[in-house]
Structure 1
Amino acid sequence: MIIRLLKPFALTAAITLALGAAAADAPRSSIDPAKLDSKAGACTDFFGYVNNISMKNDPIPADQTSWGTFNKLRERSLVAQHDILDAMALNKAAAGTIQQKIGDFYASGMDEAAIEKAGYTPIKDDLKRVDGLRNPDDIAELVRDYAAQGDALLFDFERGADFKNSTMTIGFANQGGLGLPDRDYYLKTDAESKKLLAAYQAHVANLLVLVGVKKDDASKQAQAVVDLETKLASASLTQVALRDPNNQYHLVSMAEGDKTTPHFSWLKYFAAQGVNGQTGFSLAQPEFFATMDKLIAEAPIAHWQAYFRFHIVASAAPALSKAFVDERFAFTGKTFQGQKENKPRWKRVLGATNSEMGMALGELYVAKTFPPEAKQRAQDMVNDLHDALKTRIENLDWMSAQTKKQALEKWATFMPKIGYPDQWRDWSGLSISRDGYVANIRAADKFNHAWEMGKIGKPVDRREWGMTPQTVNAYYNPLLNEIVFPAAILQPPFFDAKADDALNYGAIGAVIGHEMTHGFDDEGSQFDAKGNQHDWWTAADKKDFESRTAKLVKQFDDYIAIGDLHVNGKLTLGENIADLGGINVAFDALHAALKKHPQAVIDGLTPEQRFFIAFAHVWEGQYRDEALKLLVNTNPHSPSRFRAMGAPSNMPAFAQTFQCKPGDVMVRSAETQVKIW
């Protein structure tokens, strides 16, 4: 998933661990020494040493693009959710309950016969409206009307905390409008990029043919779509540039916004979203919107008709008949990510259920899988990591007392959220039936969008969650200075009350430390204890911090992911800082725990060895080549191999634990070793 600052900093993009069983009467080690690859060697290839044998014996399933610890735990969560949905669909609940709405939504998505019979009838009226576009005013009206239905066309719009006043919610307009996940797919001129863009253009044409466009005309329209998107891409910022908070927030008045887009009225746009009385908003990337406006005014209407026709079809395709599903998967799954088979229908409909009513499903998931005592145990561990981070900040030898004071003020205001929200969302205004999958999706889209827009102009609700409890992930939100750990990640192999401390601290401990460190990474460090974008550093400390992070950029720039494609050290910097800080904080917390509860050698491994092995197990993961390229090109998370090795190689404690020597791959020289938090 691509996470920007407006959204939480997540732990992972998509990646997973099979730990074995242990005797019930002893601390659970869950490490099988026979599965450690001595040929790889802990000091040479620590990722391979821990994970090679497991990965060899458990290849990527046909319906997956990557496979590892996170994926396997996600599958476990999906099975639990599937059981809930099957029960809801079979046992019709009282009208108006979340059980009824979830059950009927899921049942409508599983009704293949009705979906097949409908074909693309559910979007025929939309296509007629596109056919009726005549001028720039019609284009602007269509964009704002579809936005009000929860269908973002041409650009993204969402609500979020004001960067300069984090207690209040404002609207954010962000670049978008592309059918491919990043601008560079349109602008690169190497042979592979050209081939992929040509495949995308063919896909556009194929979808248009499915809604009745003649083949020759579909090819021309596909060219028009790609041409328009390429112009939008040329005005879009890179993924690296988008990591800069200054490129994510640009507060303007309505009049200033209209000056940037004279053919697109922001006052009318806000009114269409049901938002009135606002004096301003964030127009985050002005150059993109100026180009968008120029295209609205100057591009041929026929080109815009092709553009909207395709995007409406592509958006609906996963919920339409088999021909649309297959064509969409052929490009986005097979060609783009190397996926061999589409996921089974139940997983796809479950994914849609999570997209539309994830928190409602989460309420049922928590009741089934996450007892209150688990929440308390996780809270205790968060407290341990929180204390360890404070000690590390206090003992930093490169930071002045003045900046430390500010850092500790931020540390003191961290707000942890564990397992699930204290208050569940109200779904009483949403109407769902068993008749019409697309109609249900649209009803939920409209309901959710209205709920989001209703928060603009109001105080930020600090009780809200940005992830559902059934999500196997975690995140930090700098605007609320909160660290959030959903229920689904607080279970084995990440967290196990019966496991020994070394495993828990190496796995979930490093995850907790990772999210805390996001508050002090290259982006999070630009926000203060109240969540406002504010420079709380002395000039000398900031310079030292940037010098240290530059070494981490260089370290990851040097890693080769596949072929001649290197990891992008600037794009992945925030996650790499968090990994490095997280594992150091967790290691310190483990030692504090061992003073209270000493542990001996288990399975021939010391507590420190088990800690690092558990950390590397978390990042067990393998990718299809296409998926790995997509990850490196667009995602702020480094491939799992380098996450398992990058941070530990900067720790003298790792070298001491495994008796590594200077010159070993996992021992960085004094000049290149990175120490930040």
Structure 2
Amino acid sequence: MNHLFLGAAMSALALASSVALADPAPQAGKPTYGTYGFDTAGMDRSVKPGDDFYDHANGTWAKNTPIPADKSNYGAFNTLDDLSRERTRGILEAAQADSSSKIGAAYASYMDAAAVEAKGLAPIKPWLAEIGKVKDKAGYVALAAKAARAGIDGPFGIYVGQDDKDPESYILTLRQSGIGLPDRDYYLEQDGKMAAIRTAYVAHLEKMLTLAGEADAKARAQALMAFETEVARVHWSQIDSRDAEKTYNKMTPADLQKAAPGFDFVAFLAANTLTPRTLIVSQPSAVTGEAALIAKTPVGVLKDALLLRSLHTYADFLPDTMANEDFAFYGTTLSGTPQREDRWKRGIDFLKASLGEEVGKVYVAQYFPPETKAAMDALVKNVIAAMGRRIDGLTWMSGEAKARAHKKLAAFTPKIGYPDKWRDYSGLTIERGDLFGNAERSNRFAFDYEMNKLGKPIDRQEWFMTPMEINAYANFGMVEIVFPAAILQPPFFDPHADPAVNYGGIGAVIGHELSHHFDDQGAKYDESGKLNQWWTDADVASFKGLTDKLVAQYDAYEPFPGAHVKGAFTLGENIGDLAGLAVALDAYHASLGGKPAPVIDGTTGDQRFFLGWAQVWRRNYREANLRQRLVTDPHAPSQYRADIVRNFDTWYDAFKPAADGKIYLAPKDRVKIW
């Protein structure tokens, strides 16, 4: 199970036992931002820290920074992503000139827009014809299985991951799917915004069918919308779907078939040569409900679902008439983005998805110096050690659970920068001039790679992000935290910045990912990565009392009238922010070695720490994108992530906010967990 923030694998036991609290010697040079690593020009000092710390730290930047026309939001993550893409572009353009380069051939096929336009819909026509030939439910099941291998969402999703209760084994998981809008709420909520999106969605389906040359497009679009609405009614909510215990439902294929007779699951799996003894069904009532709907739905409607999902999946590899219509709905209507990205940017996304680690090998050789990795190693050591001290200081946790928590901490593997072992793409055929074929073959290659894990030992060297990603993640089953190379840059990490800013930036990212393993879901996994309650019942009750306060705090945030943050949905990420920032602050203080932090440009060390935290959350949103995130994103909007400082006594000491400030919390109301 992976949780996002937004290298050599080393034993955390060794790190924790040999930790040095001093940072690496600072490197000579000027920080990227300001005089000490923070962009003071972006502050709005007219906003008091106690009214809105996000605006105090970032308000002028927010007012003066437009969102580019090809983006739904823009902030610190995007700035680094733009840099990463420019660097990757240089790598791929150089590779194009090498006739033996697989990544060069793939990029060349994407950039040849003229060839794509000249072929029209011919590349996808055989697949559409295959859908058209289906006559009955048996044929539909076989085709849905084939679609899954081609990367096309069908009625149910399947993937391979660790068995949560047997983390040394891989297991197949089956999950709910079958809708074209981002979440069940888009079909079921009755406010005007959602109703308008539903109307636009039906119009979009009609246009896509028409562009594909299909007859009776309007009636078929309406019929599909009616079917998807019924599917949405049986879907689990986002809150239930993130519950590790509720979603762990192991059964045999025969048991699944008996529970959900409306769909031939055995044939569906067998069509991709999958004959698992057991599998996990994430949302059993949803799967049962959708199988019953499939049984009573005309095969024509089911075929149209596959047809339209196929067009959506492959739109970017088809002529602009199709791709632009797909973007008009999914990019503009849903996210508010006015225009598609330039072709070279989309080409880079294709390469990251299809040959990501092949590109990553070149990227890290050029742009990830050993000095950055060494500095990150030291920061990780300090943050892990700080987490150990915080465990010792907990008043709500029993001694028995503390001992197990230390065992879990000792089991951690941090992964920094890039994999020790790169993925082998020799089995993937790439041809210049065949973009659609390359995309199709890449999807099948990725599917086969996943399914071939079944029955094999767990690969603990595997990464689930490329080195070019501006992100990080925690993997509960692997007991690991992972930081791709590209995030290890300003404003997250700057070797020339004051340490306080780095601890508030990348230090808090490290703490966030580490803390995920102790959040409301991660804490259910023991030191071996097994889903196994290792707390006493009293520990669980105490923890819930604290997290309920955090849920209530976030429930109160209301970005738009009537549209609130869902505290229960964002709880894991909010715990990660709260605990991660606390751990990073402790690590920063320890790194000072008992000496006072210097005052720089009139700011104290603690002030610079919290400003460094706020700086990484700079982000402007388009309204449609922010509304979508409230429904589908387990992270709270960036402003509220920055303002989590309101729970820290140290922040109050540093900034002296007035008691009548808008984000001021009385000491008894400040949430402290880890």
- TM-score bracket for this pair, using the shorter chain length: over 0.9
Q: Distance in 2 between matches of 1:429 and 1:193?
A: 44
Residue 23 of structure 1, CA deviation: 4.5
Q: Displacement, 1:34?
A: 4.1
CA distance in 2, matches of 1:606, 1:673: 23
* Aligned residue runs from structure 1 range 187-266, under 5 A: 187-214=188-215, 217-266=216-265
Instruction: Check whether the contact 2:555–2:567 (CA below 8 A) recurs between aligned residues.
Output: yes
Counterparts of residues 24-63 of structure 1 (less than 5 Å): 29-63=36-70
Shift of 1:146: 2.1
- Structure 2 portions without partners, runs of 5+: 7-27
Q: Note the alpha carbon deviations across 1:244-290, whole angstroms, 9 max, x for none.
A: 112322110121022123354444333332334x3111112122222
Deviation per residue, 1:162-185 (Å, 9 max, x gap): 011011000000111211110110
Residues 69-148 of structure 1: pairs in structure 2 closer than 5 A: 69-92=76-99, 94=100, 100-148=101-149
1:50-79 CA distance string (max 9 Å, x none): 111112222111111101111111111111
Instruction: Return the match for 1:652 from 644, 649, 652.
Output: 649
Instruction: Find out whether 1:9 has 2:10 as its counterpart.
Output: no
**Could you tell me how far apart the structure 2 residues matched to 1:33 and 1:249 are?**
48
Give 1:287-298 correspondences, 5 Å limit: 287-298=285-296
Q: Which amino acid aligns with 2:115?
A: A
CA distance in structure 2 between the partners assigned to 1:56 and 1:466 by the alignment: 36
Displacement of 1:235 in angstroms is 1.0
Task: Point out 4+ residue stretches in structure 1 off by more than 6 angstroms.
Answer: 24-27
What TM-score, normalized to structure 1? 0.94
Shift of 1:27: 11
Amino acid paired to 2:45:
S
Paired position in structure 1 for 2:375: 377
Deviates more, 1:573-582 or 1:146-155: 146-155
Distance apart, 1:599 and its partner CA: 3.8
Does the residue aligned with 1:561 lie in a helix, a strand or coil?
coil
SS where residue 329 of structure 2 aligns?
helix
Is the partner of 2:668 in helix, strand or coil? coil
TM-score of the superposed pair, with normalisation by structure 2 = 0.94
The range that moved more, 116-125 or 303-312, is 303-312
* Structure 2 partner of 1:16: none
Residues 514-557 of structure 1, C-alpha deviations (whole Å, 9 max, x = no match)? 00110110000111111111111111111110000000000000
Q: Please report how far the alpha carbon of residue 225 of structure 1 lies from its aligned counterpart in structure 2 after TM superposition.
A: 1.2
Residues of 1 paired with 2:250 and 2:477: CA distance?
A: 16
Superposition deviation, residue 188 in structure 1? 1.3
1: distance between equivalents of 2:603 and 2:668?
A: 31
Number of the residue aligned with 1:502: 500
Corresponding letter in the other structure for 1:206:
K
Letter in 2 for 1:622: N
Deviates more, 1:620-629 or 1:144-153: 144-153
- The answer as to 2:513 corresponding to 1:515 is yes
Quote the offset at 1:101 in angstroms. Answer: 1.5
Residue 419 of structure 2: aligned partner: 421
Equivalent pair of 2:34/2:40 in contact (CA under 8 Å): no
Is the alpha carbon distance of 1:146 and 1:27 closer, same or farther for their aligned partners in structure 2, counting shifts above 3 Å?
closer
What is aligned with 2:150?
Answer: 149
SS state of the match for residue 121, structure 1? coil
How many residues were matched structurally?
653
Counterpart of 1:577, as a letter, is: I
Contact 1:69 1:620 in 2 (8 A): yes
In structure 2, give the amino acid aligned to 1:260: A
Structure-2 separation of matches of 1:157 and 1:320: 26
CA deviations on 1:343-376 (whole Å, 9 max, x unpaired) are 1111112111111111211111111110223212
Shift of 1:190: 2.0
Deviation at 1:622, TM superposition (A): 1.0
Q: In 2, distance between residues paired with 1:34 and 1:623?
A: 21
Q: Using the TM superposition, give the Cα deviation of residue 44 of structure 1 relative to its aligned residue in structure 2, in angstroms.
A: 1.4
Q: 8 Å contact 2:142–2:271 — kept in the other structure?
A: no
Q: Residue type of the partner of 2:78?
A: N
Give the whole-Å Cα distance in 2 for the aligned partners of 1:448 and 1:212: 30
Whether contact under 8 Å (1:393, 1:407) holds in the other structure is yes
Amino acid aligned to 1:447: F
| Residue identity opposite 1:350 in structure 2 | I
Asked if 1:364 is matched to 2:371, the reply is: no
8 Å CA contact retained: 2:151, 2:313: no
User: Cα gap change, 1:27/1:307 in structure 2, threshold over 3 Å: closer, same or farther?
Assistant: closer
1:602 to 1:228, Cα distance in 2 relative to 1, 3 A: same
More deviation, 493-502/60-69: 493-502
Task: Please report how far the alpha carbon of residue 394 of structure 1 lies from its aligned counterpart in structure 2 after TM superposition.
Answer: 0.4
CA positional deviation for 1:598: 5.0
1:32 Cα deviation after fit: 4.4
1:453 maps to 2:451: yes
Residue identity opposite 1:660 in structure 2: P
> CA 1:497 to 1:480, structure 2 compared with 1: closer, same or farther past 3 Å?
same
Q: Is the 8 A contact 1:359 1:424 kept in 2?
A: yes
CA drift of 1:482 comes to 0.5
The alpha-carbon distance between structure 1 residues 28 and 248, as it changes in their structure 2 partners (threshold 3 A), is farther
Q: Identify if the C-alpha distance between structure 1 residues 26 and 668 changes in structure 2 by more than 3 Å, giving closer, same or farther.
A: closer
Aligned counterpart, 1:17? none
- Indicate the SS of the match to 1:337: coil
SS in 1 for 2:602: coil
CA distance in 1, matches of 2:120, 2:232: 32
Residue 74 of structure 2: aligned partner: 67
Match of 2:17 in 1: none
CA distance in 2, matches of 1:71, 1:83: 18
Q: Secondary structure at the match of 1:476?
A: strand
Q: Percent identity?
A: 39
**Aligned equivalent of 1:177:** 178
Give, in whole Å, the separation in 2 of the partners of 1:231 and 1:373: 55
Q: Give the AA of the match of 1:514.
A: H
Secondary structure of 1:140's counterpart equals helix
1: distance between equivalents of 2:86 and 2:595? 36
Aligned partner of 2:632 in structure 1 is 634
Q: Secondary structure at the match of 1:671?
A: helix
Q: Provide the rounded CA distance (Å) in 2 between the counterparts of 1:476 and 1:639.
A: 20
Larger deviation, residues 35-44 vs 574-583 = 35-44
* Partner of residue 674, structure 1: 671
Q: Does 1:168 align with 2:169?
A: yes
**Shift in Å, 1:497:** 1.6
Note the alpha carbon deviations across 1:643-670, whole angstroms, 9 max, x for none: 0002x10001000001223332343113
Contact 1:275 1:454 in 2 (8 A): no
Corresponding residue of 2:10: none
Q: Distance in 1 between matches of 2:580 and 2:118?
A: 52
SS of corresponding position for 1:588:
helix
Give the CA RMSD over aligned residues: 1.8
User: Partner of 1:624 in structure 2?
Assistant: 622
